[in-house]
Amino acid sequence: MPFKRARFASYRNLEDGELGVDAERIFLIGENGQGKTNFLEALYYLCYGASFRGLVDSQIPVGDRPGFGLSALWSGSGDLPDEEISVRVDGVAKDIRLNGKPLKDRKELVFHNPAVVFCHEDFSFAAGDPERRRFFFDQCAGMLSLSYIDALRSYKRVLKQRNAALKESAHDLLDALDPQFVGYGLRLMEARKALHARFQAEFPDLYESVALLGRKVDLTYASSWPQDSSIDAVLELLGARRESEIILGTTRTGPHRDRWNFASGGEIFTEKASTGQLRLVSLILRIIEARAYADQAATSPSAPKWPVLLLDDVLLELDVGRRRRFLELLPGPGSGAQAFFTFLPEEPWTEYENGATIVYKVSHGRFQNQECL
């Protein structure tokens, strides 16, 4: 059960103070706009040093306050001691500390207490543009491997330099950049190929187990460069396309143009799927992401057994049967997984709790434990 308690200061509309969350399941019950999602965002921030909403830090503090602070205590894995994480943002600098020691790079947090968030914005993984799907799979690959984060950062840096060189028709610079560009790109492709195999092995069956469509939905991965290509083969490909790219002033081929799609019966599934079916696509992706981490963590005694699961109003667009079948896919009691759920008051949340569930009523950023009512 990773998080034991969390403290907030000037974080959105959350009341300053500390909240106990030492349970496998924590329910946040309240109307829209009361602070439920802000609470999940704060926990995510403590896990990764950034918001899952993609906002800049200056948009987070309450009122005219220049910054905000967060801190938490989470359980150590196995026989390891508990760990403390703190974040302080003063409007200029961000200070993240783990057990009192400053972290220089947010990626150092990934294997301490990762989180998987299920939120409305995930809908774009199914119905959005290709960039959104690449974002999801890059995020997942990064949670599984720090080397992937390094390769992706390096690839984006060289891609930016290459695009600048194309605009300037700087042939000599392109000759120097292309081997680096291809090297990093092939590393990304290899990792994505393995990730696709992992997801495709589960996605069709898990999706059908909840949707009951009666037909298979597959996850496809189409790389921009031919798979299993050598560095020399891709360099030759880039050379053949250089003049056209110089005319266009941008790099038209590479992993930044890879495609992930969902197919059924020879057609793109997401083009004709209903809103509920699309919503379910994003939920199943998150389930597999959490399972992929758990499978990998099973080989490491120092890693949490599961990522923290943050589920923000994810059941609203599912009918009763799909809700029940989806919840059955989540880690069960005693698995070591901790899950936070948000619900509207009129939802049947009482059907999903058990004796070990902590339930908070949320109103205007204040949290009241239902046991205290």
Q: What is the pLDDT of residues 296-351, one digit of tens each?
A: 988 887 788 899 999 999 888 788 899 999 999 999 888 889 999 999 999 999 88
7 closest CA partner among 117, 84, 96, 60: 84
Q: What is the tens place of the pLDDT at every residue in 3-15?
A: 999 999 999 999 9
- The alpha carbon dihedral of 334, 332, 37, 101 has a sign of positive
Mean pLDDT of 108-133: 91
Does residue 247 carry a pLDDT above 70?
yes
Q: How far apart are CA 82 and CA 75, in angstroms?
A: 5
Position 165, amino acid = A
What is the pLDDT at residue 84?
A: 95
The answer to whether 330 and 140 have CB atoms below 8 angstroms apart is no
Q: List every span in the chain annotated with CATH 3.40.50.300.
A: 3-114+304-372
Q: List every span in the chain annotated with CATH 1.20.1050.90.
A: 128-271
Cα R_g (the chain), whole angstroms? 22
The answer to whether 43 and 6 have CB atoms below 8 angstroms apart is yes
- 250-287 burial: b if 16+ Cβ within 10 Å, else e: ebeebbbebebbbebeeeebbeebeeebbbbbbbbbbb
Does residue 1 carry a pLDDT above 60?
no
Q: How far apart are CA 226 and CA 219, in angstroms?
A: 18
Q: How far apart are CA 50 and CA 100, in angstroms?
A: 19
CATH 3.40.190.10 applies to domain 3-114+304-372 = no
pTM over 0.75: yes
Residue whose structure tokens are 């939905």: 217
| CATH number listed for the domain at residues 128-271 | 1.20.1050.90
Helical H runs in the chain?
36-48, 123-127, 130-144, 146-167, 171-200, 203-211, 231-248, 275-297, 320-327
77 closest CA partner among 353, 338, 363: 338
326 closest CA partner among 352, 308, 347: 352
Mean pLDDT of 109-116: 88
304 closest CA partner among 317, 312, 295: 295
What is the pLDDT at residue 278?
A: 92
Q: How far apart are CA 40 and CA 122, in angstroms?
A: 15
Does residue 373 carry a pLDDT above 70?
no
